[in-house]
A = this chain, B = another copy of it.
Amino acid sequence: MYINTISHYYPSQVVGNEHFTKLNNLSSEWISERTGIFERRKAGEDENTATMAMAAVDLLLADMPYDKGEIDLIVGATYTPYDTIVTLGHAIQHHIQVPNIPVLSLSTACSSFLNALEVVEGYFAMGKATKALVIVSDHNTAYYNEMDTVSGHLWGDGASALLISKERLSDQDMHIQKIITGGAATSGKAVEAVVLRPNDRGVVMPFGRDVFQNACLFMPKVSKQVLEDCGLTIDDLDYLIPHQANHRISLNVINTLGIPLEKLISNIQYLGNTGSAGCAIALSENKDKFQKGQNIVITVFGGGYSYGAMLITV
């Protein structure tokens, strides 16, 4: 399947590390050394998971290669829902006013982007859809505790939107060669390391070290797997976009894979951990620099645990 177009949105409000110095006595150096984060974006009072996705969709529709009425599937991805009944997907269906098509929203935590694309792949395989709108949006600051000195300074907000088609529609389309996803709830401290219980303190990360270690194991492994499955090796890779959780995890992943720093794409430095939206935003932000024939791997790891990798050929 093919990415026809992609957009992203993040809020205008910038929160620098000094905010957490004042609040929690964490120095900017301490934060940036441990996480790679210098600043992050925070949604405004009138923003939420759905409105950020709408903003991304509006940018997409302004530059759309076909009529929005041809969209025949909407899949929303988020673990920070504004509304679990009027789900992200349904809010977007209402926003674009395209009736009578399948709509759903899912979560696999920070891996949700790849699972959403895999669900689209399934609708295409069934013959129940041919052109899908995928929105990925996380409003982490709706569920975080900024006084939490363990993880309060990690989170940012953002969204991305993509149009995906079963067949190639133009030379500009990016080809999704293969997607692998998996649940890893049997690994390490999967079901307690990072949790978001809406009725109990929101998002907390009591075992960050276990998340770090498993992220560093799963992302290189599944990245190699997706390349191998397509008959490629690590030398064929032009860019890697790992889940934007912590820059030290990203550096560890490229070190394990033996790829140079210039092949790593990151936005955590200025966006923080934007959850499942992070990799999609990074793909959107960098789309103009990709050249025909280049191979990009997006690899993700999420609480729960969950993992995945996708090979895109430009």
Contacts and interface: CB of A to CB of B under 8 A. Distances in A.
A93 B183 contact: yes
B182 A100 contact: yes
B89 A183 contact: yes
Interface stretch (A26-34, A192-200, A288-296): A192-200
A104 B108 contact: yes
Contact of A90 (B119, B126, B183): B183
B103 A87 contact: no
Interface in A148-166: none
A261 B187 CA distance: 50
B197 A82 contact: yes
Contacts of A314: none
Interface in A65-96: 74, 79-87, 89-91, 93-94
The interface centre, meaning the residue of A93, A106, A303 with most chain B CB atoms within 10 A of its CB, is A106
A118 B302 CA distance: 24
Contacts of A182: 100-103
A123 B128 CA distance: 13
A305 interface: yes
A105 interface: yes
Nearest to A88: B107
Contact of A87 (B97, B109, B118, B143): B109
Nearest to A182: B100
Contact of A79 (B79, B84, B97, B305): B84
B195 A94 contact: no
A194 to B, nearest CB: 6
Contact of A198 (B100, B105, B198): B198
Contacts of A102: 115, 118, 181-183
Nearest to A75: B106
A121 B115 contact: no
Contacts of A44: none
The interface centre, meaning the residue of A84, A105, A119, A184 with most chain B CB atoms within 10 A of its CB, is A84
Contact of A86 (B94, B103, B105, B195): B195
A126 B125 CA distance: 6
B119 A108 contact: no
Interface in A120-134: 121-123, 125-128
Contacts of A94: 185-186, 190-191
Interface of A: 74, 79-87, 89-91, 93-94, 97-109, 115, 118-119, 121-123, 125-128, 142-143, 181-187, 190-192, 194-199, 203, 302-306
